[in-house]
Amino acid sequence: MMRNFKVFVYQDGDPNTYYQTPRKLTGKYASEGYFFQNIHESSFRTEDPEKADLFFIPISCHKMRGKGISYENMTVIVRNYVESLIAKYPYWNRTLGADHFFVTCHDVGVRATEGLAFLVKNAIRVVCSPSYDVGYIPHKDVALPQVLQPFPLPAGGNDIENRTILGFWAGHRNSRIRVILARVWENDTELAISNNRINRAIGELVYQKSFYRTKFCICPGGSQVNSARIADSIHYGCVPVILSNYYDLPFNDILDWRKFSLVLKESDVYNLKQILKSISDEKFAMLHKRLVEVQKHFEWHSPPVPHDAFHMVMFELWLRRHVIKY
């Protein structure tokens, strides 16, 4: 892959509007920004479309959102841009877009493109909200990890003896599973479940430091199936407990999530404590060890470094490339 995989980035569009460049490299949607920047910094990019395995459509719905554009107008802008590429270049029509891809981490990107059937059906969607029940196609599309960077504290490591809390979650009740989680477990003495994010007023980085002291960090889906809490858990060495149905986990084609996390059904929330307490110390130690080993795959860098999140996404795209050359 490193030697031969090539991506052509369409140069059309004013970088000062919605094209080519990321809105920013911080916050909940940093993954989108980093990918836009990394592809230009990497050896995967080619300026010769005849040598390309895939074609990147560099339009950012996140930048549109920052300018206050409505979903309806976003859809029009995306349609006009893609149709202009189809009219100007021959490459889309060779495969009807099957060797094209676009990247969006914010759910506005999913909503803005849902109305474009030809784009959603044919192109590869690299998205942070890969839910099977909203048209995501796992053998075609790619799950992008939602990573909240920069991390304010260092990565957790060989610190099992400090992890005295069984399970931890603090957040907003903006989904059915979160409402149930808080209702069932917020008064439990062994699970640290809070109905709201920990207020910064009670101490500096208390929320992040809680990850260091916890064995299992609960990761229920919010307004979408995904959560930046998963990458936070991995970074701080807290074994993530995925509580989200229909979620195609990031890098599922490469990583075996069962080796470093617990993947549960949402209906398991009622038996959550029993499930966590059934994990032996030996099994937890193995989960934690393997979790530390995969931390590097959930970090973004500029320029990108081997085995980081950018290279993992590129490997997922490489698996979806077309082997026929025109």
Domains in the chain with CATH codes: 2-148+300-321 (no CATH), 160-298 (3.40.50.2000)
SS3 content of the chain, % helix, strand, coil (to 5): 40, 15, 45
Q: What is the pLDDT confidence band of residue 74, given thresholds at 50, 70 and 90?
A: confident
Segment 300-325 shows an average pLDDT of 91
Distance between CA atoms of residues 241 and 219, nearest Å: 6
pLDDT in tens, 132-159: 666 788 889 999 999 988 999 999 988 9
Distance between CA atoms of residues 45 and 10, nearest Å: 11
Dig out the tokens for 194 from the structure.
Answer: 């809070």
pLDDT over threshold 50, residue 301: yes
Question: What predicted TM-score, i.e. pTM, was given to this entire model?
Answer: 0.92
pLDDT over threshold 80, residue 326: no
Residues 6+ apart with CB under 8 A from 214: 163, 165, 166, 167, 168, 192, 238
pLDDT over threshold 70, residue 202: no
Distance between CA atoms of residues 321 and 124, nearest Å: 10
